[in-house]
Structure 1
Amino acid sequence: MDFTISPALDDLRARIAAFVAANVMPLEADPASYDAHENIRADLLSSLRAKAKAEGLWCLQLKPENGGLGVGRMGMAVCYGEMNRSIFGPVVFNSAAPDDGNMMVLEACGTPEQKARWLAPIAEGKVRSAFAMTEPHPGGGSDPGMIATRAEKQADGSYRIYGRKWFITGAQEAAHFIVVARTSDDERTGLTAFLFHRGQPGWRIVRRIPIMGPEEHGGHCELEFEGLHIPAEDVLLGEGKGLRMTQIRLGPARLTHCMRWLGLAERCVAIARDYAAVRTGFGVKLADRESVQLMLGKAAMGIEIGRLLTMKAAFELDQGRLARKEVSMAKIQAANTLHQAADMAIQINGARGYSKDTVLEWIYRYARQARLVDGADEVHQMVLSRFLDKEGDGFWRWPVAAS
């Protein structure tokens, strides 16, 4: 891999960084900027989105024909960290979960008609979306093979869906949904993905689940399906291809989490360094203490390891590969790096870091979910162990160029 980036991509990165510093970060210090769930207030978000669009900083992840900038996965890795130097950043650029992953999978799997109906409104920022896969016990979580929600095919080729989902991010404010349900008991072809609109009858939000950390817009909800009717044209990718769809969606979506988390980790280090440079105790600045230098150096190294793993996975995705092994490694590293960076920054800032005078406590509560969402650390470690069993010493092989 060549880690150099083009001048055009570096210019885009710099413009995003400048936009965040000038327009987004200043809002974090004002309690009035927050909604009831500790995210950016809707009217502020709307005005910032309009400004980001006007400055050509909108929807990096999609191809130009679908309303995006077409920077590819490696370009996203460069830019997403700059967005998430602010806790409010990614949603401003239409690059936040779950819309981010939903747009990418609709672009990859949708028919032209589905893209026009379901993708375009999300890409334009007119609606929000949700992805409904995870279920309460004994249904599917990290293992989609356990999915119990079922879709019963009707005589006219349509479907009716019955079952329950939970921890569905963004559901309370979403208009467009993707739901994964079981259409047969076949291990490989038993799942199917469906598209539906919030106004369709036959389903309901049971509750918005309270969580420890600040919430994405629309929260994390429990849904019940009581015969939701899905026309045949709203099947995504085809009947029995739901598992394939989840593989296409989850790899890039997990990696975009890594990109954003590393930006937040960099923000934690920046806050810690700024405070260490001015805070004096017992006649010595914190920045001059070896113990503090060790903490900062370790955090910086962890972030750089995360960046390298994330960029390698992005490269693999840009080559058209699923990059399961590479995404799992990046996901483990980035999730733990964010948690450790937030903890380190709070420790250096002392009581100030634990208070709401900085965004560190917000990031710390948010960071704990990183080791759970889109597959817990242990799930990804098992994935890596299986690759190791399969590949042996080839696990560490270097790619060889064609002669």
Structure 2
Amino acid sequence: MDFTLPPELDDHRRRVRAFVEEEILPVEGDRANWDEHENIAAEPLERLRAKAKAAGLWALQLPREWGGQGLPMVGLAACYEEMNRSIFGPVCFNAAAPDDGNMRLLSQVATPAQKERWLRPIAEGRVRSAFAMTEPHPGGGSDPSMMRTRAERRGDRWVVTGHKWFITGAGEAQHFILIARTSDDPRKGLSAFLFDRDQPGWRIERRIPIMGPEEHGGHCELIFDGLEIADEDVLMSIGDGLKATQIRLGPARLTHCMRWTGLAKRCLEIAGAYVKERESFGSTLAEHEGVQWLLGEAAMQIEIGRLLTMKAAWALDHGSYARKEVSMAKVQVADTLFKAVDTAVQLCGARGYSKDTVLEWIYRYARQAKLVDGASEVHKMVLSRSYLAEGDGFWRWG
């Protein structure tokens, strides 16, 4: 087993790391560059995005014909980890959720005309996007069979009525991918649609306040009361909504793990630097056995998470759906991110709890990791089902 990155992929990783160090971290360090939602403000973001494009580091996940670099999942795992050394990193490279997953889905399944209309503006960074699936009770969440938002055929249009919430990025999105019910068939009852922010028949009811810092566009509640969508804006075919969701969410969950690994490493970077210089009881904190236990445990968990993430990325690159591999990575890395930042806050003491570092930002952000793209308990159910079906084959090599 060779865990060495091929030279081309490692070159991308090194260049991403240097860009984050030289360009993004200085911007992050000046609060004047933050917006009111604790994310990077528009002007410094556009400046950094232009530099990332010029450096050939833009949209690494997209094929070259769409302005990207066409990196495999293994390469993305290494590069996305480096990007999220900064809390503002991924969005500067056009690699942040939900655009990342939406672009991947559109590049794989959209028609040529749909790609020109809906993908190209996101790929070029001219617009943002959102994926509208989750609904309030009793609608669909982790269980899409409960979805209640409906698209009904009326003449030559699909007319949408329903209710979505916690739709990431909706407050600033121009292009939307919507999952709605088109029949009661248990397997083919959902369909995927494309719509533009400026179309009538829907509205943003509110931007939902959350505990942590927000992505651009927040997390919004949407009401659909007659949105009309033409056949040309059906993604894939009617009845393929569940398939579209599965194509999007598997890799999207894994790219979360890639980015969260970078954040977890940043936490230990901050804590490690502090304990090496802070003295207490006649020696640095780093020389205290209890501190070493905390750091060592967190570092080990990060390595476990990144190896699970890389294994899942390798499996996806080799044609597997990697469902159990992605689920294992998602559970492990979500837990590890929270553990790493909690450890770092503890070791940095009051400084970690203050806004003198980004640790408190990451701490509030980290709690969502166990919820988004499937709660940890749902992924453990997936793993249990895999084990019961495969038995000892659950641990097969290759």
Same fold (TM over 0.5): yes
1:72 aligns to what? 72
1:94-133 CA-to-partner distances (Å, cap 9, x unmatched) read 0000000000000111011111110111000000000000
SS state at 1:171 partner: coil
- In structure 1, distance between residues paired with 2:277 and 2:146: 54
Kindly state the Cα deviation for residue 67 of structure 1 after the two structures are TM-superposed.
Answer: 1.7
Flag as ranges the 4+ runs of structure 1 deviating above 6 A.
none
Kindly state the Cα deviation for residue 155 of structure 1 after the two structures are TM-superposed.
Answer: 2.5
SS state at 1:172 partner: coil
Q: Does 1:5 align with 2:30?
A: no
Count of residue correspondences: 398
Kindly state the Cα deviation for residue 255 of structure 1 after the two structures are TM-superposed.
Answer: 0.4
- Aligned ranges 1:75-90 → 2 under 5 Å: 75-90=75-90
Matched AA of 1:30: D
- Aligned ranges 1:4-403 → 2 under 5 Å: 4-156=4-156, 158-399=157-398
Kindly state the Cα deviation for residue 5 of structure 1 after the two structures are TM-superposed.
Answer: 1.1
Matched AA of 2:303: E
- In structure 2, distance between residues paired with 1:45 and 1:144: 35
Kindly state the Cα deviation for residue 202 of structure 1 after the two structures are TM-superposed.
Answer: 0.3
Report the TM-score, using the length of structure 2 for normalisation.
0.99
Matched AA of 2:397: W
- In structure 1, distance between residues paired with 2:321 and 2:221: 30
SS state at 1:57 partner: coil
Q: Which runs of 5+ in 1 are unaligned?
A: none
Task: Check conservation: 1:28, 1:359, Cα contact below 8 A.
Answer: no
- In structure 1, distance between residues paired with 2:7 and 2:321: 28
SS state at 1:129 partner: strand
Kindly state the Cα deviation for residue 6 of structure 1 after the two structures are TM-superposed.
Answer: 1.3
Matched AA of 1:147: M
- In structure 1, distance between residues paired with 2:62 and 2:328: 25
Identity %: 69
- In structure 2, distance between residues paired with 1:112 and 1:197: 18
- In structure 2, distance between residues paired with 1:12 and 1:348: 33
Task: Check conservation: 2:182, 2:191, Cα contact below 8 A.
Answer: yes
- In structure 1, distance between residues paired with 2:14 and 2:7: 10
Report the TM-score, using the length of structure 1 for normalisation.
0.98
SS state at 2:70 partner: coil
Task: Check conservation: 1:247, 1:322, Cα contact below 8 A.
Answer: no
- In structure 2, distance between residues paired with 1:109 and 1:320: 16
Task: Check conservation: 2:27, 2:44, Cα contact below 8 A.
Answer: no
- In structure 1, distance between residues paired with 2:10 and 2:322: 25
Matched AA of 1:279: R
SS state at 2:131 partner: strand
- In structure 1, distance between residues paired with 2:169 and 2:222: 12
Matched AA of 1:25: L
- In structure 2, distance between residues paired with 1:201 and 1:321: 40
Kindly state the Cα deviation for residue 392 of structure 1 after the two structures are TM-superposed.
Answer: 1.2
Matched AA of 1:138: P
1:34-83 CA-to-partner distances (Å, cap 9, x unmatched) read 10100001111000000110111100001112221011111100100100
- In structure 2, distance between residues paired with 1:349 and 1:34: 23
Matched AA of 1:295: L
- In structure 1, distance between residues paired with 2:314 and 2:246: 17
- In structure 1, distance between residues paired with 2:66 and 2:41: 28
| Range 261-270 or range 310-319, more displaced | 310-319
Q: Which runs of 5+ in 2 are unaligned?
A: none
- In structure 1, distance between residues paired with 2:91 and 2:234: 27
